[in-house]
Amino acid sequence: MTMMTGAEIVIRCLQEEKVEYVFGYPGGAVLHIYDALFKQDQVKHILVRHEQAAVHAADGLARSSNKVGVALVTSGPGATNAVTGIATAYMDSIPVVIISGQVPNAYIGQDAFQECDTVGITRPCVKHNFLVNDVHKLALTLKKAFYIANSGRPGPVVVDIPKDVTAAKCKFEYPESIQMRSYNPVVKGHLGQIRKAVHLLLEARRPMIYTGGGVILANGAEQLTRLVRRLGFPITNTLMGLGAYPATDPQFLGMPGMHGTVEANLAMQHCDVLLAIGARFDDRVIGNPDNFASIPRKIIHIDIDPSSISKRVKVDVPIVGNVPDVLEEMLRLLDAGNAAPDAQALAAWWKEIEAWRARQCMKYARKKNVIMPQYVIEKLYEVTAGKAIVTSDVGQHQMWAAQYYKFDEPRRWINSGGLGTMGVGLPYAMGAALQHPHMPIVCVTGEGSIQMCIQELSTAKQFRLPIKIINLNNRYLGMVRQWQEMFYGSRYSESYMDSLPDFVRLAEAYGHVGIRVERPEEVEPALRKAFTDHKDDLVFMDFITDQKANVFPMVAAGKGLADMILTEDL
Amino acid sequence: MRHIISILLENEAGALSRVAGLFSARAYNIETLTVAPTEDVSLSRLTIVTTGTDAVIEQITKQLNKLIDVIKVVDLSEAAHIERELMLIKVRATGKDREELKRLADIFRGHIIDVTESTYVIELTASGAKLDSFIQAIDAGLILETVRTGVCGIGRGERILKV
């Protein structure tokens, strides 16, 4: 067996894990690794312009596929810049392995140049992290990192490698599989509990199914769709769960929560049996937990992470397990028992829901001379025939994209739901574009968010990523402005975006195509042009939209789900 | 409610800070925390005394189990168990107090392990509550220094925490 350096081992492990793309930025502590990277061509390196974007892009690649994203950063500022990306991935349980350089072992703790306690800094926002102080442990640690990142409830794993470890040599051995006595994620759900759940679902008179990002992460969309159709129950997908069930299907009630539909929120609130799958009863989804709990209903909760169960809301039937496995088991029991829900009760419940739906809470007033942001998303949906991968940043545009683009398939909608990180949209689109070179990739953003990672326009140029950027430019930090209008007496403290760049010329300066769209009738032709004439270009579309459009419906923070503010109320 | 949570974890660098960090990040209480390797040096045993409602304690055990380095978690206070804590207490021991302190140490089954003309160091092993009563029993003005290890605990009989 030949001796390899630590740096060569790192690259070899990435090859063994079939990693196609590494997003990174070189620096002193990772120079050996970059040298090893240079000497091979199996693993392709994508040079970002800021380490935060490296992690976001790796995260975007993971979200759009079923793979582990990989980022490579140097010590000190390289690692601290990566932290926002790591925390973002952590909050949404995305499998990412982040390899960071560290100062040599002998320098650790000496306040060396570009030294920071990476393991300490990242500890609260990783699934796990390692400091590899010996080259002999390197391959096994990387194996563990990939295994931990992508099993159980996924999450980011940081592997911090001192520079001397990447220079030291040892024999390379990569284990096929791995056993850890302290980490054994559950897969199969408890059969007795599943039976109880099925029984409860069949007895329900006002059932509701509510699913989150967990269904997408576990690749359970297909089983979910079969179960929902089999039962004929209404279903809602959270912001993180959109696409798990086809949004164009009549059983789909839209998104729940702070900016959810009337029908989804009222069905959540008034159901008698709630089946929650891979969701965590987030404050943006159920509003005030005391209000939510004040209405009696039975809750079944399927999740791979026991700590998500009964965390914010007390659950009656907890089922810990892998979503597709548990759903298959439920389907099997339903088929075996040949039982069906009470058709009469279900019809009455649907009648009630249809009355809520008839209020058409997503309707908004068009304006003759001003582009409404919702309209841009509706047209985007039409022009792309609902087939694009859509990433978003964070704010009003994110909510409008989630509300008006109908996702029929999983892993098509990519956004930062948990941490709510502005700036993710463009790097997410980069990761998705590399992973899916033949799909249309759209980044819906705003003039505030896009400027938080704008430097990545350069990366997109270097790697010819034909992303379509939909900039909903209202010259305000829209969501902040909306809250200030509603809750702070319209005192728009620091939410007006002054001195904005000319985005068209900015895009052109980076070597891309820029299009400004100012009138409603120009929206559709401009979009068509971007997706046909400029199919292979990155197109930055700057839509000058209505300045004061608000996202509705809205459940104010701390209020109950039924307490919605609607456009019609204003 | 007060709970004693016992944890078996990998004896790895940083494992303790993962546990301590979890408690601070999620705003859980730590009253005491003790940790040391077990007879198997690859394993550490950690005991935490914490307080919280049933829901909070349930979350604490679940969150602890989620840590990759944690192998097993048990809430000792759920069933029959023994708890002990060691205290070393240095007291001003002069004049008639010397005799009185000696007597008190005997009553609590403590030992005087250091003697000077003006001080005693008393060693006492008992439940946390008993150590508290000992401190209460001494004139506060005589106490120079106290150091306590924090609680360690073990289940009674066949209740065994092992890998």
Q: What is the pLDDT of residue B130?
A: 96
A292 catalytic per annotation = no
Q: How many angstroms separate the CA atoms of A312 and A293, rounded?
A: 10
Q: List, in order, residues 6 or more apart from A67 with CB less than 8 Å away.
A: A19, A61, A95, A435
Where is A278: in which H helix or E strand?
none
Q: What is the pLDDT of residue A568?
A: 65
Q: What is the pLDDT of residue B28?
A: 96
**Which pair of tokens denotes residue A241?**
């769960």
A281 catalytic per annotation = no
A447 catalytic per annotation = no
Q: List, in order, residues 6 or more apart from A60 with CB less than 8 Å away.
A: A69, A391, A414, A424, A427, A428, A429, A430, A431, A432
Across A439-503, the runs of DSSP E, i.e. the strands, are: 441-446, 468-473
Q: What is the pLDDT of residue A338?
A: 79
List the catalytic residue out of A163, A298, A379, A468. A163
Q: What is the pLDDT of residue A186?
A: 84
Where is A457: in which H helix or E strand?
helix A456-462
Nearest to A181 among B13, B21, B71 (CB): B71
Q: How many angstroms separate the CA atoms of A210 and A189, rounded?
A: 18
**Spans of chain B, pLDDT less than 70:** none
pLDDT tens for each residue of chain A, 570 residues long: 689 999 999 999 999 999 999 999 999 999 999 999 999 999 999 999 999 999 999 999 999 999 999 999 999 999 999 999 999 999 999 999 999 999 999 999 999 999 999 999 999 999 999 999 999 999 999 999 999 999 999 999 999 999 999 999 999 999 999 999 999 998 899 999 999 999 999 999 999 999 999 999 999 999 999 999 999 999 999 999 999 999 999 999 999 999 999 999 999 999 999 999 999 999 999 999 999 999 999 999 999 999 999 999 999 999 999 999 999 999 999 999 878 899 999 999 999 999 999 999 999 999 999 999 999 999 999 999 999 999 999 999 999 999 999 999 999 999 999 999 999 999 999 999 999 999 999 999 999 999 999 999 999 999 999 999 999 999 999 999 999 999 999 999 999 988 999 999 999 999 999 999 999 999 999 999 999 999 999 999 999 999 999 999 999 999 999 999 998 666
Q: By CA distance, what is A119's nearest residue in B?
A: B14
Specify the residue for token string 């975007």: A60
Write out chain A residues lying below 8 Å of B18, CB-based. 123
3-state SS track over A389-454: EEEECCCHHHHHHHHHCCCCCCCCEECCCCCCCCCCHHHHHHHHHHHCCCCCEEEEEECCHHHHCC
Write out chain A residues lying below 8 Å of B63, CB-based. 307
A479 catalytic per annotation = yes
Write out chain B residues lying below 8 Å of A124, CB-based. 21, 25
Q: What is the pLDDT of residue A569?
A: 65
Interface of A with B (CB under 8 A): 119-120, 123-124, 127-128, 131, 148, 180-183, 305-307, 309-311, 314
Size of interface A-B (CB pairs under 8 A): 37
Q: What is the pLDDT of residue A337?
A: 86
Residue of A159, A307, A309, A320 for testing the chain B interface, max B β-carbons within 10 Å: A307
Write out chain A residues lying below 8 Å of B13, CB-based. 131
List all residues of chain B from 11 to 40 with a beta carbon under 8 Å from chain A: 13-14, 17-18, 21, 25
Q: How many angstroms separate the CA atoms of B134 and A210, rounded?
A: 56
Q: What is the pLDDT of residue B37?
A: 96
Q: List, in order, residues 6 or more apart from A363 with CB less than 8 Å away.
A: A567
Q: What is the pLDDT of residue A41?
A: 96
